[in-house]
Amino acid sequence: MKTLQPYTSFNRTKSIEELQYYILRAKTSLEYLKFELNFFKSLLSKPIYKTKEINLYETLVNYKREIHTLNENNKELLTQLLLHANQIKKMKYKDLPFNNLFIKKHDDLELSIFNFKTKISDFKFRLFQYLESVVIN
């Protein structure tokens, strides 16, 4: 499943408070995604699947591996987000419009989070489709 809307940045005209608000929302969102991924991992270990499905075990193991990778990516993004939040705390309002490097870093981080959420959405779509076909009625 492809993204319908590409990422677009509107950060050039935002205040420090608006950027901090984005970071807080992104942090919360990534923490929720961590919880979701752990739930999916747990769900894949439950005895709720049709036992005669071809390659059931291998497919479930592959999904668990993918969840592990997504969790690692999530941890990395959370770390980057916290570092970025600390940089914003040190900035003065008057410095922001002149700090193109900082805005570029913020845009890059925002794009990484956007791409990660797109990847998560794709993963969930595929997982739900698969689970629908293998879960015992």
Instruction: Give the closest residue to 21 by CA, choosing from 7, 33, 11.
Output: 11
* 1 belongs to a structural domain: no
pTM for this predicted structure: 0.87
Whether 66 and 40 have beta carbons less than 8 Å apart is answered as no
* 6 belongs to a structural domain: no
Cα dihedral 123→129→135→136 (10° resolution) = 170
Within 10 A of 4 (CB to CB), how many other CB atoms are there?
Answer: 5
* 3 belongs to a structural domain: no
The number of folded domains in the chain is 1
Amino acid at 44: L
pLDDT in tens, the chain (137 residues): 555 577 777 677 777 788 889 999 999 999 999 999 999 999 999 999 999 999 999 999 999 999 999 999 999 999 999 999 988 887 766 565 557 778 888 999 999 999 999 999 999 999 999 999 999 98
